[in-house]
Structure 1
C-alpha cells in the first residue's frame, strides 16, 4: 500500500491509513487476484453465491459478505482442516471403488448371465418305490424320457425345504395339505420333513419330486460319485435317464 502523500505523513515514513483507505486497498487487491485467475470463484467447487448475494462455503458451512472475507477464510485453519478430511475421504472412496471393480471382474453369481430357454413342457417321468434284495433298504427308482433334450445329459439335485424361497415353500405346504393323507399324520409333520429332488433337462421344464427327509440318503460323501446304493445312468440312444437311491437303515 502506498502511504506517500497522506496527511501528517513525514518524508520517508507512512501516514496512518484510514478505514476507508484500507477497504479500497483490499477491494483492489481482490480484483487483482480475480483478474489474474489466482482465485477463480467460478471454478471453486466449494463456494457459491446464495439468493442474498452472500458467498457460502459448502465445505465449512460458513457465510461471507464479500470476496475478501472468503479469501481470508481460504487461508484459515478451519478450511485447511476440512480440505484434509475431504482428501482422506476421497481416497477411501477411491480405494473402495477399485476394490469393487476388482471383485466384479471375478466370476460370481451376480455377473453370470442366467440361463434361459424356451420351455417345451415336462418330460415323461415314472417313480417307483423299491427295496434292496439283500440289505432290505427302502429306495426310489426314477425313470425319465426326454427325447427332445438339447443338453448333454440331465442333471439332478436334492434341495431341502429351507433352500426354497417363500413362494415355493408356500406351494409345497399347500400341496402337502391338499393330499389325501390322514389329518393326524399331517399335523405331526414339520416343514423340514420333506425335501425335493429337482431334475433339469433343457429345454424341458424342471421337475421336482417330493421325498421324505426323515432318514438320510445312502450316497457317497464325494459329489458326482456313484455307489451300489446311489447311481444314475443316461442312455444317449434311447434318451432315457435312470436314477436310483436308497435310504440308510435307521
Structure 2
C-alpha cells in the first residue's frame, strides 16, 4: 500500500493510514482475490461453513470470517504443506490396500450339490420346550468344519430372497400356520433362515419362524444344554440342536 505524498509524511516513510483508507484497500484486495480465485464450497472437501456462518478448514483446523480470508489461506504455506502430507498419507494407505487385495485370492470351487440332511422335531422331557435337531452328512467336505448362521430376510441376497419366498408360497399348505397370500411383507418378517455352509456343497437354508425365540446364550459362539452343535470329524456328520423359549 502506497503511503507517499500524504500529509506529514516524510521521504522514505509512510504516513498513518486512516480507517477509510484501510477499508478501501481491504475491499480492493477482496475483489482481486475473488476475481482470480473461484471458491467452490460444494466441491472443496476441506471447507465447511459452521453454525456461526464462518468458514473452517478441516485440513488445517483454521477458522475464517469470510471467503477472502479462506482464499488467502489456500495460497498460504500451511495449507500447501498439509496438502502434501495428506497426499503422502493417501499414497501409503492405497499402497497397503493394493497389497492386501493382491495377497487375498478369491476362492473358487466346483459345487457338487446339496448334502444329505435330516430335520427332527424334538421336545425336552424336563422343560417341555420344543425345538429342532439337524443332522447333515458331509462325506466330501473340503474345509475343516461347517459354518452356520441365523439370518433375517434382509441379510440374504436378492436371488436367495426370491427363492425363499417361492419356497414358502409353494409349501404354504404344509405349514402349521396360515399366511395371507398377498402379504409379502408379512412373510419377510415372519421367518428367519438358518444357513449352513460346507464347501464344496451348496448351502442349506432352513426356514425358522421369527416369532419363536431360540433359547441360546447371549455371548457369541457359546453353547448350552438347549443350544449346541457338534462336528464329528470321523463320520463327517454335523449336528445342530436348539430349543425355543
Q: Same fold judged by TM-score > 0.5?
A: yes
- Of 106, 111, 127, the residue aligned with 1:119 is 111
Asked if 1:211 corresponds to 2:208, the answer is yes
Task: Give, in angstroms, the shift of residue 234 of structure 1.
Answer: 1.0
Look up the match of 2:155: 163
Q: Which has the larger radius of gyration?
A: 1
Asked if 1:181 corresponds to 2:178, the answer is no
TM-score, with normalisation over the residues of structure 2? 0.58
C-alpha offsets along residues 216-235 of structure 1, whole Å, 9 cap, x if unaligned?
11011111111100011111
- What secondary structure does 1:105 align onto? helix
Provide the rounded CA distance (Å) in 1 between the counterparts of 2:91 and 2:121: 51
- What secondary structure does 1:135 align onto? coil
Asked if 1:194 corresponds to 2:185, the answer is no
Aligned ranges 1:1-250 → 2 under 5 Å: 84=75, 88=79, 91-92=82-83, 95=86, 98-99=89-90, 101-102=92-93, 105=96, 113-181=105-173, 185-187=179-181, 189-248=186-245
- What secondary structure does 1:130 align onto? strand
- What secondary structure does 2:168 align onto? helix
User: Retained in 2: the 8 A contact 1:194–1:213?
Assistant: yes
Task: Give, in angstroms, the shift of residue 81 of structure 1.
Answer: 5.9
Provide the rounded CA distance (Å) in 2 between the counterparts of 1:232 and 1:201: 15
- What secondary structure does 2:173 align onto? coil
User: Retained in 2: the 8 A contact 1:142–1:244?
Assistant: yes
- What secondary structure does 1:95 align onto? helix
- Length, aligned pairs only: 171
In the alignment, structure 1 segments of 5+ residues that lack a partner are 1-58, 62-79
Provide the rounded CA distance (Å) in 2 between the counterparts of 1:131 and 1:161: 27
Change (3 A) 1:104 1:204: farther
In the alignment, structure 2 segments of 5+ residues that lack a partner are 1-35, 39-70
Task: Give, in angstroms, the shift of residue 165 of structure 1.
Answer: 2.8
